[in-house]
């Protein structure tokens, strides 16, 4: 119907929130305010979906601060941080809606934690906020460590471990063979997660060419997670100086005690030519690894960054050995600028390292991590500790790109930041967010729903729908609010959205 010289305007589509420049320039197919609106198909919209309690137990977890999807070998679970009545951080393992283990780890000052799954285990690093005046930064809790949780309800424990101690008894065994001469012997303990401690209980003994070697009073580890002990030995030493340390040690083939109780290993024969697997590098590994604000996996190596004492240091493990981190050549230093490392992500075989306003890259050159060369990617754009989108239930980035929350907005990254930002339509809305609270931002990518879900410092959830295309003009944005403030979000079992909140 036409009203007094006014031509009717038909709104046949709705493209979400517009918060850019002059409000009077808002396009007709956008709203200046559209909280709690969701898109239905390409043109329709309605109110957002409701929520319910995900745990069907007598006392569900409350005061939830952080949730991660925790994929295990037999299914997807959740790893959850809550604050208890004493304001301590507690880690719980939610197996399903009816089963919860925990707390499996309690740390007094833990306000948040970094997490990566590896071989069905959970690696956990507690961190918190620290202020140096105007700047609030995230780094590992002082005097705390990286922990590993086996996923079975038992307590998490510190990764790595100390060498065996004690006095080893060595004697000639039955008829056999060795290269005659003085050798250094010791034992290396192995945990149920595969960590090999430094050689311990070192002792010297002169072997005979016609005899094997037998060992008594083999030390037993106080660590209940030790499941094996391996014999190590040097090759025959000429001109021994009396110091059993400092000599190259090798694993003796077929000389393993497959428990942590037996005190004897008898009648071991070997030649020096059989000693091929070097164990000396284990001496340089951390016995306990300081907690950081960042955990990631690159080339099957565990990477830890932003420890309490070294906010620009990355600790990188040996390949395939996430608990073996060398204090000599497993360290990478990103240029110091007063800002901590906030995120590490692998994309197309490159390790990208972010600070809040800087991005650099490293590439594994086949040598030790300390030799990897750094390339500067961007000296203005970076991200926060939870500012790189995880995808579905994998806990990892997309193969083709990263979706990154930066001070400038939500930006696609494919080796460089792609401008304009995906959040171009809501530039003014994004700029109202408190920069010093960007550590509260968390982003996940739900390809099934074709949406980003972003927890904001305002404790609203920002939905970014890309069903019409993942480009600045096609994105459709809406903030969602709930009766409780949202602290965290995770995607569980492919398309189930889990929110963590409290009533504070």
- Whether residue 131 is predicted with pLDDT greater than 60 in this model: the reply is yes
What contacts 148, CB < 8 A, 6 or more positions away?
121, 122, 123, 124, 156, 157, 158, 159, 193, 323
Average pLDDT (157-175) is 95
pLDDT of residue 399: 58
Q: What is the CA radius of gyration of the chain?
A: 28
Cα dist. 472→410, 411, 422, 424, 435 in Å? Answer: 10, 9, 4, 6, 22
Mean pLDDT lowest among 48-62, 69-83, 154-168, 265-279: 48-62
In 234-373 the beta strands, taken as DSSP E runs, fall at: 250-257, 265-268, 292-298, 301-307, 313-318, 321-325, 331-333, 341-347, 350-355, 358-362
Half-sphere CA count of 384, side-chain side, radius 13 A: 26
User: In the structure, what pLDDT confidence band is assigned to residue 74 with cuts at 50, 70 and 90?
Assistant: confident
Say if CB 123 and CB 273 are below 8 A apart: no
- Whether residue 503 is predicted with pLDDT greater than 70 in this model: the reply is no
Using DSSP's 3-state secondary structure scheme, residue 120 falls into coil
pLDDT of residue 21: 83
pLDDT of residue 1: 53
Average pLDDT (443-451) is 91
User: In the structure, what pLDDT confidence band is assigned to residue 133 with cuts at 50, 70 and 90?
Assistant: confident
> Is the pTM here over 0.75, yes or no?
yes
Say if CB 147 and CB 158 are below 8 A apart: yes
Q: In the chain, what are the domain boundaries? A: 13-50+386-504, 62-160+285-347, 169-283
User: In the structure, what pLDDT confidence band is assigned to residue 47 with cuts at 50, 70 and 90?
Assistant: confident
pLDDT of residue 185: 97
- Whether residue 504 is predicted with pLDDT greater than 80 in this model: the reply is no
Average pLDDT (136-143) is 94
pLDDT of residue 327: 96
Cα dist. 480→33, 235, 458, 485 in Å? Answer: 11, 68, 11, 11
C-alpha span between 464 and 405 (Å, rounded): 12
pLDDT of residue 396: 52
Say if CB 158 and CB 145 are below 8 A apart: yes
pLDDT of residue 3: 59
- Whether residue 50 is predicted with pLDDT greater than 90 in this model: the reply is no
Q: pLDDT per residue over 290-343, tens digit each? A: 999 999 999 999 999 999 999 999 999 999 999 999 999 999 999 998 899 999
Instruction: Give the whole-number percent of the chain exceeding pLDDT 90.
Output: 75
Say if CB 274 and CB 280 are below 8 A apart: no
C-alpha span between 188 and 267 (Å, rounded): 18
CA-nearest of 146, 137, 107, 126 to 439 is 137
Q: pLDDT per residue over 246-287, tens digit each? A: 899 999 999 999 999 999 999 999 999 999 999 989 999 999
User: In the structure, what pLDDT confidence band is assigned to residue 5 with cuts at 50, 70 and 90?
Assistant: low
- Whether residue 344 is predicted with pLDDT greater than 90 in this model: the reply is yes
C-alpha span between 254 and 18 (Å, rounded): 69
Q: pLDDT per residue over 12-35, tens digit each? A: 788 889 998 888 888 888 888 889
Q: Which residue has the higher pLDDT, 48 or 122?
A: 122
């Amino acid at each position: 119907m036409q009203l007094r010289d006014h031509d009717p305007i038909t709104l046949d589509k709705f493209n979400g929130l517009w918060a850019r420049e002059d409000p009077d320039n808002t396009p007709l197919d956008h709203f200046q305010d559209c909280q709690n609106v969701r898109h239905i198909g390409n043109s329709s919209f309605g109110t957002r979906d409701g929520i319910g309690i995900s745990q069907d137990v007598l006392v569900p977890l409350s005061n939830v601060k952080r949730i991660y999807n925790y994929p295990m070998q037999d299914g997807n679970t959740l790893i959850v941080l809550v604050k208890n009545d004493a304001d301590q951080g507690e880690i719980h393992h939610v197996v399903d809606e009816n089963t919860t283990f925990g707390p499996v780890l309690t740390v007094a000052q833990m306000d948040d934690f970094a997490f990566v799954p590896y071989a069905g285990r959970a690696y956990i690093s507690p961190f918190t906020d620290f202020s140096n005046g105007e700047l609030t930064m995230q780094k590992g809790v002082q005097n705390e460590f990286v922990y590993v949780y086996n996923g079975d309800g038992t307590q998490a424990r510190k990764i790595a471990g100390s060498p065996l101690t004690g006095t080893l008894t060595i004697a000639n065994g039955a008829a056999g063979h060795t290269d005659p001469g003085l050798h250094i012997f010791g034992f290396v303990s192995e945990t149920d997660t595969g960590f090999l401690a430094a050689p311990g209980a070192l002792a010297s003994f002169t072997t005979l060419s016609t005899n094997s070697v037998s060992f008594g009073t083999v030390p037993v580890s106080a660590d209940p997670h030790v499941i094996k002990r391996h014999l190590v030995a040097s090759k025959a030493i000429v001109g021994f100086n009396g110091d059993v340390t400092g000599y190259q040690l090798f694993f003796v083939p077929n000389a393993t005690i497959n428990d942590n109780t037996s005190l004897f290993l008898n009648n071991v024969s070997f030649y020096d030519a059989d000693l091929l697997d070097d164990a000396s590098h284990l001496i340089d590994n951390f016995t306990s690894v300081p907690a950081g604000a960042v955990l990631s996996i690159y080339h099957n190596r565990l990477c830890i960054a932003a420890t309490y004492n070294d906010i620009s240091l990355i600790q990188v493990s040996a390949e395939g050995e996430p608990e073996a981190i060398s204090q000599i050549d497993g360290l990478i230093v990103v240029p110091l600028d007063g800002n901590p490392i906030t995120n590490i992500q692998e994309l197309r075989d490159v390790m990208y390292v972010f600070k809040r306003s800087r991005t650099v890259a490293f590439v594994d050159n086949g040598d030790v991590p300390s030799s990897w060369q750094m390339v500067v990617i961007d000296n203005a754009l970076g991200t926060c500790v939870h500012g790189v989108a995880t995808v579905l239930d994998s806990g990892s980035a997309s193969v083709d790109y990263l979706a990154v929350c930066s001070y400038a907005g939500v930006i696609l990254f494919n080796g460089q930041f792609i401008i304009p930002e995906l959040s171009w339509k809501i530039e003014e809305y994004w700029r109202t967010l408190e920069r010093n609270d960007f550590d509260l931002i968390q982003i996940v990518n739900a390809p099934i729903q074709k949406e980003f879900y972003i927890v904001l410092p305002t404790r609203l959830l920002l939905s970014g729908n890309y069903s019409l295309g993942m480009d600045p003009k096609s994105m459709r944005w809406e903030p969602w609010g709930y009766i409780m403030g949202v602290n965290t979000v995770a995607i569980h079992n492919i398309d189930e959205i889990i929110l963590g909140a409290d009533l504070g």
